[in-house]
Amino acid sequence: MDIEGLGDRIIDQLLRLKLVTSIADLYRLKKEDLFRFERMGDTLAKKLLAAIEKSKQRPLEKFLFGLGIRHVGAHLAQVLSRHYGSLDALQAAEAEELQNLHEVGPQVAKSVRAFFADPHNLDILAQLKDLGLNPQTAARPQGQRLQGKIFVFTGALERFNRAEGQALVEQQGGRASGSVSKKTDYLVAGANAGSKLTKAQELDIPILSEEEFLTLLEDTKE
């Protein structure tokens, strides 16, 4: 949940003092509780509580990853959040429906269903909701024409930066990667492209210029 200031030392004290016995307890902490810590003053306590409060609005994919669902890492959390858009929608999804998603196999589908079928987990989620956690609905893809396609960006790009290129790919259901492999479908190369370009050529991966990439996106729009 990227809570600034909540490091190992603070967590150890929270557990030792039994101020936190579940994730939900973290959002019930008061300034007076933190004063029981070693070297915890008013300013630091306020800062930590503000960081905890801020984490209530983390993106859905971060929240899903933070839940620690077995087999659901950062990337699959993103896949699920982008498809379903809300925790309630994901919670209602059946295993067969989950398996129809690209990159979600039987093992992941079974694990997701098991998590949301556990009464203890449902109780914790209900408590978090009551405490004001509102994971932001992820932006859903505008299309699915690039679903399953993996793009890598390299070199000096002029029409857009890498983050913008990745967002454009994800809007059409594709995925951006930081490295070239046999699974890569396209390499988008700008000026002064280096080793990634060489590897893509060795693997016979289609190489696109920025203009060709943008043309491909136009052709895939629904």
Whether 72 and 50 map to the same domain: the answer is: no
Low-confidence ranges of the chain (pLDDT < 70): 136-143, 220-222
Q: In a 10 Å sphere around its CB, with 0-12 CB exposed, 13-18 middle and 19+ buried, how is residue 177 labelled?
A: middle
How high is the pLDDT of residue 140? 58
Burial class (CB in 10 A: 0-12, 13-18, 19+), 34: buried
One domain for residues 72 and 25: no
Domain that holds residue 40: 8-56
Q: Do residue 39 and residue 51 come from a single domain? A: yes
Same-domain check for residues 64 and 49: no
| Residue 1 included in any domain | no
**148 vs 111: CA distance, rounded Å:** 22
Q: Which position has the token pair 């059409």?
A: 172
The residue whose two tokens read 């491909």 is: 216
Residue 2 lies in a domain: no
Q: Are residues 81 and 125 in the same domain?
A: yes
Residue type, 147: Q
Same domain, 17 and 65: no
- pLDDT number for residue 160: 87
141 domain-assigned? no
Q: 160 and 198: one domain?
A: yes
Residue type, 220: T
Q: Is the dihedral of CA 92, 62, 36, 29 positive or negative?
A: negative
Is position 135 within any domain? no
In a domain, 111, yes or no: yes
Task: Write the CATH number for 181.
Answer: 3.40.50.10190
> Long-range contacts for 182-185 (Cβ within 8 Å, ≥24 apart)?
183/150, 184/150, 184/151, 184/152, 185/149, 185/150, 185/151
Q: Is residue 196 part of a domain?
A: yes
State CA 124 to chain mean position distance: 20
Q: Using CA atoms, how far apart are residues 140 and 126, in angstroms rounded to an integer?
A: 25
111 with 81, same domain?
Answer: yes
Residue after which a domain boundary falls, among 21, 40, 56: 56
Indicate if 214 and 171 belong to the same structural domain: yes
Q: Would you state the pLDDT for residue 139? A: 58
Tokens for 213, please give them.
């990439």
Looking at residue 137, what is its pLDDT? Answer: 66
Q: Does residue 122 share a domain with residue 108?
A: yes
Looking at the structure, tell me whether residues 20 and 77 fall in a common domain: no
Q: Is residue 143 part of a domain?
A: no
Question: Which pLDDT does position 103 carry in this prediction?
Answer: 82
pLDDT of residue 138: 54
Count up the domains in the chain and report the number.
3
